[in-house]
Amino acid sequence: MITKIAWKNIWFKPLNTLLSIILLTASVAIITLLILLQDQFEKKFSDNIDGIDMVLGAQGSPLQLILSSVYQVDAPTGNIDYTEAKKWMKHPFVETAIPLAFGDNYRGFRIVGTTPEYLHKYGAEITNGKIFDKNFEVVVGSTVAQKMNIKVGDKFFGSHGDSEEGEVHENHAYIVTGIASSTGKVVDNLILCNIPSVWAMHDHEHDHENEGEAVEDHDHEGHGHHDHEAAEEAHDHEDHMAAEEEGEEHHHEDGHDHDHAEEVHDHVDMPVSEEGKEITAVLIKFKSKMGIVTWPRLIPQNTKMQGALPAIEINRLFTLFGIGLDALQYLAYGIMLISGISIFIALFNTLKERKYEFALLRVNGASRLQLLMLVLIESLLLCVTGYIFGTIVGRLALSFISGSSESEFKISFNPLEFVWEKEGYLFLLTIFVGVLAAVIPAVKAYGLNISKTLANA
Amino acid sequence: MITTKDIRFSYGKGTSFQFPDITASKGDSLLITGGSGKGKTTLLHLLGGLLRPQSGDVFIDDTSLSVLSDRKLDHFRGKNIGLVLQQSYFVASLNVLENVVLASWLATGRHATEKAKQLLEQLDLKDHMHKLPSQLSIGQQQRVSIARALINEPKLLLADEPTSSLDDENAYKVADMLSGLAKQFGTALVIVTHDQRLKDRFPNQITLS
């Protein structure tokens, strides 16, 4: 009954009530949003670096390397030499090393050359079809498959680079051989193929451009060279490295040769030779923790590569984010303080006109404690209503953010998830604000002198 | 039945009152008159347990108000004393019926909705039950507060200047209503007033001086 009176009372002054509820809703919504965002963001980021101790890649920003190769959001730092990388990949410290080669995208979804191990690492299984095996065979992540409505056996052309508008590689179509299971991790948004596919796709283009030049070179060359070249050609098949160290014209010819060789390879589905090829990054898991300590220093000293530690870079990223999040959080707490003050002022102002009402309730047999409860409950009703609206509005905001972050970064958030502990604390905080705002008016109602109030009427 | 014995009261230094002993039995009406500043309202508050006397005691039936604790007094007042004030106050956000029912809930913990409806009907307020008190005229509000004072069938009905803001016609109507209802419910009625119009109506009178 007291609660019913309280409820009727707060809606008797709808504007005051609305103001208090709006302020509370705003602050709870912001804080809820931040809680969900931070929690899911960190979870998403931490899930994806599980089992990656270090990323080997081209020199540049280590954060960029991590973002591009682990989370597939930023542009790569550059390419590294596969032969060189292999030396490190085969080191006894290393437990697993997964090479990655970026090249194309299909409608904004990255096509990444890698090994089947990459799928295993993220716990993705092939739900439909089989793993990629031959060149240009791809396994499609669950989200990509769903969004693009891709089925096993479909063919598509990739566009060069990161952007959807990139040049389309029309020479080779990718064939979908498998669909991966949903993991909630980055792999869901990727199209995976073997590394030679990426090489083949791009070498092919490169070679076409150079073909003309190569012929021109032939014209300029004297006959004396011819034998040498022929010998070199034969040599090429066995040792590309040597060929690359030779003069310009050999290089072109090497390309020409390679082109030819590749076309053959493509047709017989033999792997492309790895020599002199480049990849983008290697995800490394160490057997020995010594690697984590020493390699980030050793690698740049001895090579043109770098070793970036995801755990450290992500921590750094969170720290950077943290400043912004903290500022927003302070803002939200500020709004909550204001809403507390607004409730206080509303209760305190109406106290003057309501003291007769309170005196009357006492005359009718209400105890002091019941009046105290009445004021307290009014404040708490406002707070609980504000909290409920706030949680809902915060989640609506998150689903909006999720929509835009999904299309931009392929990161989605689940607005229906509850972070019970933090949201519980937030609820307690809201209640505390309500109690605090009501304390003075409630105590005044408690201590009301009914005789004096009624006599002065 | 209400009796008082040697009650004194003072507001700090200076103003102190010594009241004559009062008795009103079941169904009886007693009019207390006196000029302003003579302690009419103070006496009413003492009788209603809103104030505690400095010495002396108030008995309602056989209960001494002075021995009750604050909480028990609140409860006792809700159950056994009905109060009609010069100006009517209500819980502004509740409608007429809810206001009357609230009084029964506060005193007994039960919602005497049917009884409240009956009482309001008897007081000619049938069509106003679901209005807010602020939408009623002063006379109608006065009648609602009478209904509210009687909902728990109290042993004592106190009225403080119940007619002073009403015109002659309404003043007599309210006076008749109060004495009639007091008889009907077997309630002792004590009216405090300076309204000369009521003096002819109530033979039992005490004048404070």
pLDDT of residue A204: 56
How confident is the model over B14-36, as a mean pLDDT?
Answer: 85
The rounded distance, in Å, linking the Cα atoms of B54 and A211 is 118
Which of these ranges, B26-40, B71-85, B102-116, B134-148, has the smallest mean pLDDT? B26-40
Q: Of A199, A233, A206, nearest to A218 (Cα)?
A: A233
Helices and strands (H, E) in chain A, number of each type: 15, 13
Closest CB to A363: pick one of B50, B87, B91. Answer: B50
Cβ-contact A422, A321 below 8 angstroms = no
- Pick the residue of B102, B157, B192 with the most A CBs within 10 A to test the interface with A by mutation: B102
> Closest chain B residue to A362 measured between Cα atoms?
B74
- Count Cβ neighbours within 10 Å for each residue of B179-190 and write b for 16 or more, e otherwise: bebbeebebbbb
The continuous run of DSSP H or E covering A352 comes out as helix A310-363
The continuous run of DSSP H or E covering A338 comes out as helix A310-363
Which of these ranges, A64-78, A236-250, A363-377, B53-67, has the smallest mean pLDDT? A236-250
Q: Of B141, A250, A129, A102, nearest to B149 (Cα)?
A: B141
Per-residue pLDDT at B107 exceeds 50: yes
The rounded distance, in Å, linking the Cα atoms of B209 and B207 is 6
The CATH number given to B2-207 is 3.40.50.300
Q: Which residues of A touch B153 (CB under 8 A)?
A: none
Residue B18 CB-half CA count within 13 A? 1
ipTM metric: 0.87
How confident is the model over A73-97, as a mean pLDDT?
Answer: 85
How confident is the model over B168-178, as a mean pLDDT?
Answer: 87
DSSP string, A401-435: HHHHHHHHHS----TT---HHHHHHHHHHHHHHHH
CB pairs under 8 A between A and B: 73
Closest CB to A365: pick one of B42, B92, B107. Answer: B107
> Closest chain A residue to B111 measured between Cα atoms?
A1
Per-residue pLDDT at A238 exceeds 50: no
Which of these ranges, A60-69, A304-313, A402-411, B191-200, has the smallest mean pLDDT? A402-411
Closest CB to B89: pick one of A9, A360, A367. Answer: A360
Q: Which residues of B touch A6 (CB under 8 A)?
A: none
Please judge whether B107 and A457 are an interchain contact, meaning their C-beta atoms are less than 8 angstroms apart. Answer: no
pLDDT of residue A205: 52
The rounded distance, in Å, linking the Cα atoms of A37 and A50 is 20
The model's confidence at residue A228, banded by pLDDT at 50, 70 and 90, is: very low
Looking at residue B205, the DSSP 8-state letter turns out to be E
pLDDT of residue A271: 52
pLDDT of residue A257: 44
In Å, what is the CA distance from A344 to each residue of A21, A414, A440, A448?
13, 36, 8, 18
Closest CB to B91: pick one of A357, A369, A450. Answer: A357
Extract the tokens encoding A394: 């915060």
Please judge whether B106 and A370 are an interchain contact, meaning their C-beta atoms are less than 8 angstroms apart. Answer: yes
User: Across the strands, what pairs with A308?
Assistant: A55
Q: What mean pLDDT value characterizes chain A?
A: 80
* Model confidence, pTM: 0.72
Q: How far is CA A287 from the centre of its chain?
A: 27
pLDDT of residue A385: 94
Tokens 């015109």 sit on residue: B167
Extract the tokens encoding A255: 């390309």
- Pick the residue of B15, B43, B69, B91 with the most A CBs within 10 A to test the interface with A by mutation: B91
DSSP-derived 3-state class of residue B204: coil
Per-residue pLDDT at A135 exceeds 50: yes
Interchain CB contact of A2 with B (< 8 Å): no
Q: Which residues of B touch A351 (CB under 8 A)?
A: none
Cβ-contact B84, B146 below 8 angstroms = yes
The rounded distance, in Å, linking the Cα atoms of B124 and B111 is 21
Domain boundaries, chain B: 2-207
List own/partner pairs for B9-16 with CB under 8 A and 24 or more apart.
Answer: B9/B39, B9/B42, B9/B46, B9/B51, B9/B53, B9/B54, B10/B54, B11/B42
Please judge whether B86 and A455 are an interchain contact, meaning their C-beta atoms are less than 8 angstroms apart. Answer: no
The model's confidence at residue A245, banded by pLDDT at 50, 70 and 90, is: very low
Per-residue pLDDT at A302 exceeds 80: yes
pLDDT tens-digit series, residues A431-449: 999 999 999 999 989 988 8
Closest CB to A8: pick one of B77, B94, B160. Answer: B94
